[in-house]
Amino acid sequence: MIKKRRIESMLILCGLLISVLGYSQITIGSGISPTSGALLDIKQTDQSSANSTKGLMLPRVNLTDITNLYPMFEPQTTSPHPDYDDPVKKQKQDQMHLGLIVYNMNTVHPHICPGVYVWTENIWRRLPKPCFDPCTGFDVVVNGPSCGYTGRALNFTSSLTGTTDNIIVDRWTVTKEGATEQVIPSATSADLTYEFPVLTTGIGKYSFTVYYKHKTLGCEKSKTITVDLYDNLLQDYWAGNTTSSGTYEIRAKIYKRTADNDYDYSSGELPLRVVKWSYVKAGTTTEVDMGNAGLNNITYSFRSSGAGKYYIKMTWEDFPCADGLDPEPANNTPTPRRVLHPVVVGELDVRL
């Protein structure tokens, strides 16, 4: 009798297996055919709206580690799980279990609390959101110049306030007004030094943005600073011999191109001011001060220096695009820092 029952049980089990294996799609909860796009269709009726009065019960587990498939491959009492005991095996199992869904009952970690979790290759992610948002605990601070010139480095600094555990710099980006945001290569430090080429045609407004993110949970925050970029220097240069032998009149006008592509001319007043004229005679390395600071037009005698080719240099300064403020010693009032720009404005062949 017992033997007969065993045979009957085996026949029933075989019949069930054959019926399951005979279909590539299965309906659970009714005898209705599954929806064509579903491998597994759980429903009680074939209605297009609500088709069940019951739900799907997920397996309930106690997660113990945010970055490991525990308790699935929890270490044994005296040794690691044999399928999860080295980095190669772990990587294989982590990849194979992509999409694994469970309902966690445990609270053992700031990122492990009761709720639905899905395994995403190397971390358990809670649905629809983490136990807490780690990005609410910190803010980003960024400092830098509000304007700058081509060919001169722009220096930016960033920092964090609040809870900063596991928060790292992910990237810096630069965006020209009206254009697409561009990631700056290899810029993953808190500070950034950036320089536009002197011959750039991209004069205008630029936004520099630093992104910080949580290195395991992925949430991020950012902060942006806007910079007006100007041409380093555009100048008109003219030099001509006067009635006196060896004496030349030299004129130079300093321009800067603004964000709207207009040209502003400085006649020796702020924001651009000539602070020095000088020259270097060809074949020498000595720079000679010509005086006449503050003037765009000068007259200079080269008689004592002799005939030959001279490289004329003009040094000008600007205030608005200084990198910061210096205190005035007299009253400790912050004043703009001077930024000097030495530029060779032209060549001169002196004949005596």
Q: What is the per-residue pLDDT across 165-198, written as a single tens digit (0 to 9) for each?
A: 888 999 999 999 989 999 999 999 999 999 887 5
Burial profile 271-307: b = 16 or more Cβ within 10 angstroms, e = fewer? ebbbebbbbbbeeeeeeeebebeebbebebebeebee
% of the chain exceeding 90 in pLDDT: 31
> What are the distances in angstroms from CA 324 to CA 143, 243, 311?
10, 47, 32
* Per-residue pLDDT at 162: 83
165, 155 contact by CB (below 8 A): no
Q: Is residue 213 part of a domain?
A: yes
CA distance linking residue 281 with residue 310, whole number of Å: 4
| Least trusted range by pLDDT, from 68-77, 110-119, 268-277 | 268-277
Domain boundary, last residue among 103, 132, 161: 132
Burial class (CB in 10 A: 0-12, 13-18, 19+), 158: buried
* Per-residue pLDDT at 79: 81
pLDDT over 60 (residue 84): yes
List of residues 6+ apart from 304 with CB closer than 8 A: none
Burial profile 69-82: b = 16 or more Cβ within 10 angstroms, e = fewer? bbebbeeeeeeebe
Q: What is the per-residue pLDDT across 259-310, written as a single tens digit (0 to 9) for each?
A: 444 445 444 333 456 778 899 999 999 999 998 777 778 889 998 999 999 9
Q: Is residue 149 part of a domain?
A: yes
Nearest one of 264, 254, 257, 335 to 296, comparing CA atoms: 254
CA distance linking residue 195 with residue 259, whole number of Å: 17
* Per-residue pLDDT at 261: 47
Same domain, 152 and 166: yes
Nearest one of 116, 85, 82, 76 to 100, comparing CA atoms: 116
Q: What confidence category does residue 250 fall into, taking pLDDT thresholds of 50, 70 and 90?
A: confident
Q: What confidence category does residue 7 fall into, taking pLDDT thresholds of 50, 70 and 90?
A: low
List of residues 6+ apart from 43 with CB closer than 8 A: 27, 29, 30, 32, 51, 52
Q: Is residue 32 part of a domain?
A: no
Same domain, 86 and 145: no
Same domain, 223 and 257: no
165, 185 contact by CB (below 8 A): no
Query: Which amino acid, residue 57?
Result: M
* Per-residue pLDDT at 47: 80
- Number of structural domains in the chain: 3
Domain boundary, last residue among 87, 111, 132: 132
Same domain, 223 and 238: no
Q: Is residue 328 part of a domain?
A: yes
Q: Between β-strands 101-104 and 124-127, what pairing exists: parallel, antiparallel or unpaired? A: unpaired
Same domain, 238 and 222: no
Concatenating the DSSP letter of every residue in 97-120 gives: TTT-EEEE----BTTB-SEEEEE-
HSE at residue 234, side-chain half, CA atoms within 13 A, is 14
* Per-residue pLDDT at 294: 72
pLDDT over 50 (residue 327): no
Domain boundary, last residue among 230, 265, 283: 230
Q: What confidence category does residue 98 fall into, taking pLDDT thresholds of 50, 70 and 90?
A: very high
The enclosing domain of 182 has a CATH number of: 2.60.40.10
The enclosing domain of 308 has a CATH number of: 2.60.40
Where helices occur in the chain by DSSP H, the ranges are 2-21, 87-96
Q: Is residue 197 part of a domain?
A: yes
Q: Residue 146 is part of which domain span?
A: 135-230
CA distance linking residue 43 with residue 30, whole number of Å: 6
Same domain, 319 and 337: yes
% of the chain exceeding 70 in pLDDT: 75
Q: Is residue 345 part of a domain?
A: yes
| Least trusted range by pLDDT, from 108-112, 214-218, 221-225, 332-336 | 332-336
pLDDT over 90 (residue 103): yes
